[in-house]
Amino acid sequence: MKLLSTKATCNTHGQDSSYFLGWEEYEKNPYDEVVNPKGIIQMGLAENQLSFDLLESWLAKNPDVPGFKRDNKSIFRELALFQDYHGLPSFKKALVDFMAEIRGNKVAFDPNHIVLTAGATSANETLMFCLAEPGEAFLLPTPYYPGFDRDLKWRTGVEIVPIQCNSSNNFQITKSALHQAHEQAKKQNLRVKGVLVTNPSNPLGTTMSRGKLDLLLDFIKDKDMHLISDEIYSGTVFSSPGFVSVMEVLKERTHNLKDSDDTAQIRDRVHVVYSLSKDLGLPGFRVGAIYSENDTVVAAATKMSSFGLVSSQTQYLLSAMLGDKKFTKNYISENQKRLKRRQRMLVSGLRKAGIGCLKTNNAGLFCWVDMRHLLRSNTFEAEMELWKKILYKVGLNISPGSSCHCTEPGWFRVCFANMSEDTLNLAMKRLKAFVGDSRVEGSCSSSSSIRAQSSGSGTSARKSLSKWVFRLSSREQEER
C-alpha cells in the first residue's frame, strides 16, 4: 500500500535548481571574517541589511512597543489570545499608508481590500489558488525569480509559460513577446488565466515604465484575464526613473474619460502583492499582503490566510513603527540613499574586474551581471561551468541566469545589500583575481568570438539543461 502522497514524493518543488543549491553549498562553508575567512560569500540572497540601525534606533526610542505595552500597561495577554484572521485594523491601516507613502502618495489603498499573508511567497500562492485551476497557466516574463517555480506551481498545479525577453532591449517586455507566449500556451493546450510581473524586477533590478504597464493592462483586457503585479521591491528604487505602480496607471486611466469604462472592467482583475521583507529588511517577520479590489478574491484569500497568519505581536509592533510618519519618511529616504551607494560599489568593483551590468539597473538589492565574455562557449553548459568555478574556486555564491529562465547564457544575479562593505570589497577582490588568472591561462574566449562560433545555440542548449540536476563529481569533492 502506498504510504505517502504524490505531493510528498514528487520532485517538482524546484529545490534542485542551482539557485537553491548555491545556498546549500554556502551553508556548508559560510564565509566569516574571523572563523572562516576563505569560506563562500553569500551573494545569492536578496536581503536588505543596510538599514538595521534605523530600525534598532526606533525600537530603542520606543521600548514599550517591543515590550508589548500600551500606556505603560502590559497588553501581552491581549496579543497572546486568538485573533481574527482578518488582521489587526491598526496594522492594516498603517500598512496601506506605508504602501501609499512609498508610491509618493499618488495612489491610496483601502484597508478593506488588503489580505495579510505570511510573506509574499504565501501571497503569490494564494492568488494562484484564487485565480486558476490546476493545469491552467500564468505568463511570466523572463528572466524571473527562481522561487516562482515553487511558489506558483508546486502545490497549486498551475503552469508557467515564459514570455521570452532578451538583452537586445534590456529584457523589456514587448507586445510581440506577450502574444507569442499566449500562442505557445495554446499550442500546449493550456488556458492562460493571467500575467504575473515583478515591478521592480527580480532579478533585473529595473522598474517598468507607464507604457509597459499600459501594454499589460491592454493585453489582459483584450484576452479577458488577470494581472498580478508583485511590488515587493517598490521601496528600493534608488535612481530614476522612479517607481510607477500598476495601481497608479489604473487611476490615471480611470480619470481619462475615454478609458474609464474599459478600466472599470479590468480593475477587479488587477492584484498587487506586497511585503515588508525587502523594503524594511524584515523577511523573518513573514509579513506579506495581497491588495485587490475584487471582493470575491479578497473574501477567498482572507479565508485561505488562516493557513499562514501574521502573528498579533508582529502586527502590533509594526503598526506602531509604520504609524510613526517621521520615522517612515526618514527611513524610506535614507534606505534608498544607502542602496544607491552600495549598488555603485558593486558596479565599480565589477568594472575593475572587467565585468559589466545591465545599465538600466535602478532598483532592488542586486545587479543583473553580464559575464558572457567569460564563457568558453555560448551554452548553458558553459554557464554552469563558470558558476561552479565562481562558487568553489572564487568562493562566491551568485545566481546563474539559467536558474532565472534567462534565454541567454552568461547572465548572473549578484546581490549587494546582505553584507558589509568590507565583505563586498573582498568579494570583488576575489572576482578580479579570478578573471585575471583566467585570462592568463587563456581559458576565456572573447564575447564576439563566442557569438560568432555558436550564434543561435542558446535555445537548444537551454533545453538540454531543462532537467539538469547539480551533483558534485568525486574529483570536485577532492579538490575542495
Among 149, 230, 279, 370, the active-site one is 230
Active site residue 232: yes
Active site residue 278: yes
Among 232, 332, 390, 398, the active-site one is 232
Among 26, 145, 291, 331, the active-site one is 145
Among 278, 316, 332, 390, the active-site one is 278
Query: Looking at the DSSP assignment, which residues form a beta bridge with residue 368?
Result: 413
Q: Which residues have a catalytic role annotated?
A: 145, 230, 232, 278
